[in-house]
Structure 1
């Protein structure tokens, strides 16, 4: 909940990103590169370079070296009143990047950032109180206050969190209509995963009677945005005939599009469909082709499936097919 790329595009962390990259770009520590990818400053400019270096770096040392030099520079900005730097000091203490993990310090930095109008800090601190984290106990009332403040100031992910709270009656009275409305608004404002939450709610009937048609409609809306997970799951459902709808052609197309975005389960599902002849004509050559593509992309499950094809009897069951959304 602290490293999602979910913030409005108006946030710009390139000043923080520049400080960090100056300190880690020549580092031989895998830890510096891993933590950089985990930290995810908004509009970070060096993610592809960091990923490429990780692939060729021979050292196994995961102790961050450059980050330990970057943190005092970020702290100096925070102490001068920079709310962006305050937010990142909070996040670094939550994740334990360049400093020991310290939730008390994290909360203090987030509170300072909020006092300066940093709405991302409202969300992160709201989630800390919503779920409890480390030594920080659950405080639903404070979580609701902070997430409401974020939602009122353009944080569409905060609206989704509030929507789920109202649906579940999590710290607030159950209000299904308000919960659904907040999730719809969150999706319309740009938080794609709010649509996944809506689809899941309609499919599972967790909060109200299940509505398979509405579930498919919402999952289709999310897939239409280019979200690879939604594309893959909807493709699976349409090929397998899950939740009352079958459209094999569209399902296969969506699964193939999901593999183009390297959504790993889609490789496995396509391979298994062809391997077992479920929804499509059984074709072991195509099954092997999809497993090979998945294994090459880094899927251990696809590699395992390839190994299993070397003489094992095929079972008609797809592992995990009963509940994947």
Structure 2
């Protein structure tokens, strides 16, 4: 489903387009509200015939047809109306051609015949009848009497819009925004919405308001966006009411106010906007509507369970996932699974979605082993659904592989990733973005498992694909260069790392200027290399500049800012500025504790650094729990043989050495050295440091024999 952070532009079929519209029964049944346009009835329509129809002028015949069709001062008679409209239409009367088309569309007074309806619409449209052009647009949009064709639909709506029809102008805007039958162009879409807004069209007000709120193709403007949404909502437009509820709910461009959100969502639901029920269910279940709200949410849950409405649980659980409330997402998914167990033949597709939702919610809670059977079941169900297997099997495999990676089960994850890669390459070709996404995950696996040669080969392939696809280097090229640089830096090839990080920095600087968050990430990368090279002043300059940019972009609290502060603290620790180091790393740790989950690798970096600082300062008992917690996270997430595990083992060895306990220190240094000798270049400073400290521990009295 779509992310809630950027609201989609769903086609709105809830409101009547024009009060004078003759409702088309077939379209109403299929599309819930769009109706075909009709010309206005002529003033002073005659009340009776006078003479033979063949002798009447076309306009008189048309007026008489309208009288019969509408029951205006005569008894309604669709057959007579059709006769009058046909006579007038055969004489070239465009409005009569349109009205005759409507009768054929509805089967009123004539046998229903979509093809004949379209024939008369075309004749009217050729004479410039805006309503006929609009109706042809609807026919092509929904495949009514003709093959569905977005391009033809757009072309006919465009003709009607250019004559000033506000509904057509809005639909032209929607087609341009979504790229339906025309090249996507959000800026032009906004212009067409603006034309319809000038005619007080509520759909266009809602669409343009949302574009201002989300800065979709136009500069963001909360004031204009909220004003437009309020105008549309004041006309009873359900989608605008839903948007206002949503923005009150999240506090975007308007005060965060759950009570106001509930009020708007209730209005939207009353006007037929069913997705408002999901937002209300979430708000009420979370206690934001008081006990009455909780009771109403529980009633909805009970109703959905009794009625086997699995889609309700899927959509609500997905909403909780998007709101990063995985415990609630899991609870909702399990209620859906319980409802499915009571059904005789639940949909396999819905069972797949529920299993996937439960698995993803458990993953988000870092409960990786508990997630595994749910993800495996989602895969098994996807493989048994021939209509969707080509799309869903690779997705299920990716979720399964990622979960294995999170458990450091590299040997099991690799063949799953390779299977996804083979499926996507066969279906999409070797350079498709979905294929390159799999390469990203494979590179992460090889990097985490410190299979550096394999990781480099995958990233080089990805870099070649990106470079061949773009005339100028873009953010994807820069990101892949940074990934390669990180591999080189990890192995101690600092000059190669610096050149790749610098190239990535130069690409981003040329594309984005000097004040973007991505540039701060590149500066942080360069600072890390400079620190490893002993170029401490250059490293400090890079870190400080990155910190300034991130504070300007994100404010004083952001996970990227915590990374830079932790690295700056590590630099100060390495250069003996321990008080400054402690202050920065303490602040970074507090930020990460608040923003990240309990088993985040970034959190482990902060714990490790602060523990090492306390050890160096002689605050041994303060440092030990930080180092032990960092080791537990790294071993759980990366496996026991990773270089980051070695770093924390080495730091714990220093702790025990400082406590004059070489018997505990030596085995830790020995483990760290074994890992580093296996993974790093022979001359890497970390290898030399572990070898040196192991020798120191062995030389101390009380060291274990042979350690």
The TM-score normalised by the length of structure 1 is 0.60
Decide whether the 8 Å contact of 2:262 with 2:283 is kept in 1. Answer: no
1:141-290 equivalence runs, <5 A? 141-204=187-250, 207-208=252-253, 211=256, 213=258, 214-223=260-269, 225=271, 227-239=273-285, 241=286, 247-253=293-299, 265-266=311-312
Q: Which runs of 5+ in 1 are unaligned?
A: 22-32, 45-64, 271-277, 309-314
Q: Match for residue 30 of structure 1?
A: none
- Give the counterpart of 2:21 among 3, 12, 36: 12
| 1:38 positional shift | 4.3
1:175-204: per-residue Cα shift (whole Å, max 9, x none)?
111111211221121111212222223334
Q: Match for residue 122 of structure 1?
A: 169
Q: Which runs of 5+ in 2 are unaligned?
A: 1-9, 38-111, 317-330, 366-707
Structure with the higher helix share, 1 or 2: 2
- Give the counterpart of 2:145 among 98, 103, 121: 98
Distance 1:162 1:68 in 2: 36
Q: How many residues align?
A: 264
Is the aligned partner of 1:42 residue 2:35?
yes
Q: Per chain length, whose mean CA-contact separation is higher, i.e. which structure has more relative contact order (CA < 8 Å, sep 6+)?
A: 1
Distance 1:9 1:101 in 2: 24
| 1:129 positional shift | 1.5
Q: Match for residue 58 of structure 1?
A: none
Distance 1:184 1:144 in 2: 18
Q: Pick closer, same or farther for the CA change 1:95–1:222 going to 2, 3 Å.
A: closer
Distance 2:205 2:304 in 1: 28
Distance 1:156 1:3 in 2: 11
Is the aligned partner of 1:75 residue 2:84?
no
Distance 2:197 2:161 in 1: 13
Decide whether the 8 Å contact of 1:165 with 1:172 is kept in 2. Answer: yes
Q: Pick closer, same or farther for the CA change 1:133–1:289 going to 2, 3 Å.
A: closer
Q: Match for residue 56 of structure 1?
A: none
1:91-117: per-residue Cα shift (whole Å, max 9, x none)?
323444433444443333223212443
Distance 2:226 2:268 in 1: 16
Q: Match for residue 50 of structure 1?
A: none
Distance 2:152 2:315 in 1: 44
Q: Match for residue 508 of structure 2?
A: none
Q: Match for residue 131 of structure 2?
A: 84
Over aligned residues, Cα RMSD in angstroms? Answer: 4.9
Decide whether the 8 Å contact of 1:86 with 1:109 is kept in 2. Answer: yes
1:50-65 equivalence runs, <5 A? none
- Give the counterpart of 2:180 among 133, 149, 156: 133
Decide whether the 8 Å contact of 1:223 with 1:234 is kept in 2. Answer: no
